[in-house]
Structure 1
């Protein structure tokens, strides 16, 4: 599809949205949320933690290696171009565990969970941020490791969209397409919602479609295409993109993104507007600011996030090193590098 296609430009244009939400969401505050990165693009076993950040040990995970005297070596954790996070929410004495995305490979996320001593049998629900394969590839491993009969999986209805990459001058490359039939055959109970969803007795919000209100977050470039039933069309918005939101009592919102295709500023503002909560406490996940199509919006993104004064920013997965550097410079007290196996403890 051409760069100057009128429908694509119109679809990507921001919509002016002001005032409070028409259908506000009453998000119950929680006492604590612990977000553990089960899979990210990097693993650094030498990173230091603090009272809110707990790092995995360098030597976690013994594996066979005959070249050593005892036949073993410490493997650390796997890193791959994908994202997965375990979310534990505590409200009073009740603790609920959700899995947000599953990484790219069938065995990567479950291997890391095993090495970390995490029992995936405790997972009470799965949330997919969107349908791209680097966030849904580990579903097979989850099903094979623990069994998922009746396990609810919350998705946007467009998560099953066929997509491809068609860069100019190159042959198009199909992206793996998630199959609803296959997921249900494995035992997942698929729950489709376009609108916001409340989980865990009203204390976890899944945003559904995100309002696009900024004038700089325009979405994916023309090479990202989707099949509309009649042909391939530019898919700038990735409308199935959604985030997970928790309100930590007396602290503010914790926003967890997969790739942030809706634009991380759009997502944060949408969450604040939906819930009526005035403060962004933490932002964790992929910000999709890597590569030539997105690096031009790093500056306005960082500027907008700085105005929100979050206490914690963890830019993971597809954020890119230039964005990491900019965030670290602008928010030195809030920014923390991500790594597979890191847990973020946020409490009232």
Structure 2
């Protein structure tokens, strides 16, 4: 989103304290037999992508009216926009639970894509927001307006309500849409604010909460990204409300789902490893925020650390950027998979 680099000293002094080594009280994350992640909204949609045993691409079965065609109808495909939303279903034995992780940018893209995929969102058990940026929370309006969300739990970091803006030197200043807790609670969401890690779904889904910043190269947002402190606008490098969703697939390892990965994807994975005591990274899915001049210098060290972790599946989406995508595809050809709105990734326990 921003084009200028940050002063490393300013960023490092603003960072929360790191917590190296094993967690004092490790979290007992219950293993699951299966996780399915369906990308409801991503920056791209490619109808020509092929799937495999763990990747199911969106079919073109949905039909809409289109009088310009002889039949009066057409197949529209999925909506792509600069945003992210994923539907997460975890299964333990014969019990399944479904959560919504982020909701995209616009009020209607997530719902439209769910309809075209034949997904009924009325059975949601909860909503998790990765952070407060509007391209991850815009679909909440559509969700509430469609079916009502009485007492639907929503897990957020307490700083998700932070006012933020982009102030480009010599350019425009744009205040970003800010979430309203009062409005969300008025629509029926049961807002749960947690700074610390949270266990959901009978202990089988971990929400990281605030992520410790331990790497030297993941330095956060550049100076144009600012937050209102209550008295002034100040550089907001951390996006401290950034959190991820983590699941342990039995005998496979951790599956980490990020929204933008503002905390730094390696920081996030290391946090998941430290909290759970599980070293194996099985899959990484979501936005990694490696796009643009401020972040492209981070691609190299990120890729080096990620390659060492040797995940079986990597699906970088949303804000990852084409340079990072190309680098990951070249370095991890067996793990990297092109993301696309409407794709489902199914990861199962070892037989």
* TM-score clears 0.5: yes
Shift of 1:269: 0.7
What are the residue-to-residue correspondences of 1:56-135 with 2, within 5 Å?
56-57=58-59, 59-135=60-136
Note the alpha carbon deviations across 1:194-225, whole angstroms, 9 max, x for none: 00000000000000000100000000000000
Determine whether 1:52 maps to 2:54: yes
CA drift of 1:170 comes to 1.4
- Tell me if structure 2 keeps the 8 A contact 1:60–1:77: no
Deviation at 1:8, TM superposition (A): 4.4
Verify: 1:165 aligned to 2:166, yes or no.
Answer: yes
Q: Which residue of 1 aligns with 2:145?
A: 144
Offset of residue 23 of structure 1: 2.5
Retained in 1: the 8 A contact 2:56–2:344?
Answer: yes
C-alpha separation in 2, matches of 1:339 and 1:20: 36
Out of 68-77 and 102-111, give the one that drifted further.
68-77
Quick one: distance in 1 between partners of 2:162 and 2:227? 7
Query: What is residue 156 of structure 1 aligned with on the other side?
Result: 157
| TM-score of the aligned structures, taking structure 1 as reference length | 0.97
Paired position in structure 1 for 2:188 = 187
Q: Which of 5, 23, 43 is residue 21 of structure 1 equivalent to?
A: 23
Q: With structure 2 as the length reference, what TM-score do the two structures score?
A: 0.96
Could you report, residue by residue, the CA deviation over 1:17-55 in whole angstroms, capped at 9, with x for unpaired residues? Answer: 332112311100000000000000000011000001000
Secondary structure of the residue aligned to 1:137 is coil
Aligned residues: 346
Tell me if structure 2 keeps the 8 A contact 1:254–1:281. yes
RMSD: 1.5
TM-aligned CA distance change 1:5 to 1:311, over 3 Å: closer
How far does the alpha carbon of each residue in 1:130-155 deviate from its partner, in whole angstroms, 9 at most, with x for none? 00000000001111112101000000
Q: Quick one: structure 1 residues 274 and 142, their matched pair in 2 at CA, closer, same or farther if it must change by over 3 Å?
A: same
Per-residue deviation, residues 309-338 of structure 1 (Å, max 9, x unmatched): 000000000000000001011111000000
Q: Deviating runs (4+, > 3 A) in structure 1?
A: 1-9, 14-17
Change in 2 beyond 3 A, CA 1:36/1:231:
same
Unaligned runs of 5+ in 2: none
1:245-324 equivalent positions in 2, closer than 5 A? 245-324=246-325
Q: Does residue 197 of structure 1 match 2:204?
A: no
Query: 2:13 maps to which residue?
Result: 10
Secondary structure in structure 2 of the residue aligned to 1:261: coil
